[in-house]
């Protein structure tokens, strides 16, 4: 679906009707009018357009309390598709989903460094082309591309300002992908995309404020306040991993000393393990630490518990600063949840200022490794269903 066509679909009233169908299907035209305060003729006209555009379908007649039975409406989930891209420090993952987030195709590409901006953009384009080719779908059925990018992102221009681990700067992702594919493109920091993915697909319920924290090769956070992503004045809100924990600590990839990321990322955990387990065969990884802990290695168990304590200290700072209703944790490090979470929660309980703050809901994502890439998909879905909620 070309960008101009997409823009025609984004009137506020149309989005209100479409989102009401999404959240309440099956639903009648009359019920939509009643629950949205739009007039029945307005609802009827909008529904007619949505059916013509393939976004909505009608089903069998519903129940009637007298008179003509109402026709019920549903989102036509298999008519349009979204491409989601997760650019981590180590690989590029792409998925193709329908409007419910069901994944139909998937590609993955391991990144090698050093990379130039041109090489990186070529990799993105090639993987998206491969995804479309594998799907065998008409490109007119694609409504957009959402990209979750690690590092600092200028959301307005869709530019990757700084991707520190990949050592990339000022990559015009949105400009290049829109030019290449003639689709709407949204680019967001990966942790913030994860926060949207959690709110869209994570089954969290209604919370006024949500923070999603991604702990893997890097560490970042996304903050959702009153349904809107919070970006900050210069788009740097959520750089949780670069909170200073030890002013005399190790130098981070960002250039500062003692960042949280230098203590709790997967690589940091592995490095601390290598300092003690010198007789381990091969290069020790964070996954190895977890597996050794699972097999009862006392040092690895203590290392993961200590990691949980440090994360808990960082989250305590976050609670004092933002005071969110819920914190959702994801990323590869949280696969060690059984060792990390008890110490993490204990650290929060010991340090928060009030008894009420001790009850901040801290959970591990139910979306697993797909939390961020589904967040990339939600960047497009939210533009389609709820453009009035995007700040």
As given in the structure block, the two tokens for residue 67 are 């008179």
Q: Quick one: DSSP state of residue 365?
A: -
Three-class secondary structure of residue 225 per DSSP: strand
In degrees and rounded to multiples of 5, residue 44 shows phi and psi of -60, -40
What the block records as the tokens of 316 is 């305590």
- And the tokens for 246? 């030890």
- Domain spans of the chain, in order of start: 3-75, 81-196+372-389, 204-365
Instruction: List C-alpha distances in Å: 281 to 254, 274, 288, 295.
Output: 31, 11, 11, 16
Question: Do 49 and 85 contact (CB within 8 A), yes or no?
Answer: no
Q: Which two tokens stand for residue 124?
A: 């993105």
Tell me the CATH class for 204-365: alpha beta
Q: Do domains 3-75 and 204-365 have the same CATH topology?
A: no
The yes/no answer on whether domain 81-196+372-389 falls in CATH 3.40.50.720 is no
What does pTM read for this prediction?
0.78
Residues in the chain: 391
CATH architecture label of 3-75: Orthogonal Bundle (1.10)
pLDDT tens, residue order, the chain (391 aa): 555 555 544 577 888 888 888 878 889 999 999 998 889 999 999 999 888 888 888 886 655 555 566 789 988 877 789 999 999 888 999 999 988 888 999 999 999 989 999 999 999 999 999 999 988 888 788 889 999 998 889 999 999 998 988 889 999 999 999 999 999 999 998 888 988 888 788 776 667 788 999 998 889 899 988 767 888 887 778 889 999 998 999 999 888 999 999 999 999 999 989 888 877 767 888 889 999 999 999 999 999 999 999 999 999 999 999 899 899 999 889 999 999 999 999 999 999 998 887 778 999 998 888 889 999 999 998 877 765 443 3
The whole-angstrom separation of Cα 214 and Cα 263 is 14
CA–CA distance, 140 with 30 (Å, rounded to integer)? 32
């Amino acid at each position: 679906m070309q960008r101009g066509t997409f823009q025609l679909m984004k009137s506020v009233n149309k989005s209100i009707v479409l989102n009401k169908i999404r959240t309440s299907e099956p639903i009648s035209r009359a019920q939509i009018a009643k629950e949205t305060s739009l007039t029945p003729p307005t609802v009827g006209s909008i529904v007619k357009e949505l059916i013509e555009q393939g976004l909505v379908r009608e089903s069998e007649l519903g129940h009637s309390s007298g008179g003509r039975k109402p026709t019920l409406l549903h989102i036509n989930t298999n008519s349009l598709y979204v491409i989601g891209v997760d650019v981590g420090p180590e690989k590029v993952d792409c998925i193709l989903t329908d409007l419910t987030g069901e994944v139909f195709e998937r590609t993955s590409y391991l990144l090698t460094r050093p990379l130039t901006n041109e090489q990186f953009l070529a990799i993105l384009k090639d993987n998206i082309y491969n995804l479309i080719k594998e799907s065998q779908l008409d490109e007119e059925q694609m409504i957009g591309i959402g990209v979750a990018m690690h590092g600092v992102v200028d959301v307005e221009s869709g530019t990757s300002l700084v991707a520190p681990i990949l050592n990339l700067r000022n990559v015009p992702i949105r400009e290049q992908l829109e030019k290449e594919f003639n689709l709407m493109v949204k680019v967001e920091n990966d942790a913030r995309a994860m926060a949207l993915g959690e709110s869209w697909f994570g089954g969290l319920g209604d919370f006024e404020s949500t923070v999603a924290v991604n702990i893997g090769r890097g560490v970042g956070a996304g903050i959702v306040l009153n349904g809107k992503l919070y970006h900050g004045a210069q788009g740097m809100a959520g750089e949780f991993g670069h909170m200073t924990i030890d002013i005399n600590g190790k130098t981070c990839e960002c250039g500062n000393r003692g960042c949280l990321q230098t203590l709790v990322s997967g690589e940091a955990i592995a490095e601390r393990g290598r300092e003690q387990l010198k007789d381990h065969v091969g290069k020790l990884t964070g996954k190895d630490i977890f597996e050794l802990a699972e097999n009862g290695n006392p040092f690895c168990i203590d290392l993961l518990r200590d990691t949980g304590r440090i994360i808990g200290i960082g989250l305590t700072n976050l609670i004092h600063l933002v005071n969110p209703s819920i914190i959702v944790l994801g990323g590869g490090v949280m696969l060690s949840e059984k060792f990390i979470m008890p110490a993490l929660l204990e650290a929060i309980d010991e340090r928060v200022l009030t008894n009420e703050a001790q009850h901040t809901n801290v959970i591990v994502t139910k979306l697993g490794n797909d939390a961020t890439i589904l967040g990339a998909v939600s960047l497009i879905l939210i533009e389609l269903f709820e453009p009035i909620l995007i700040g």
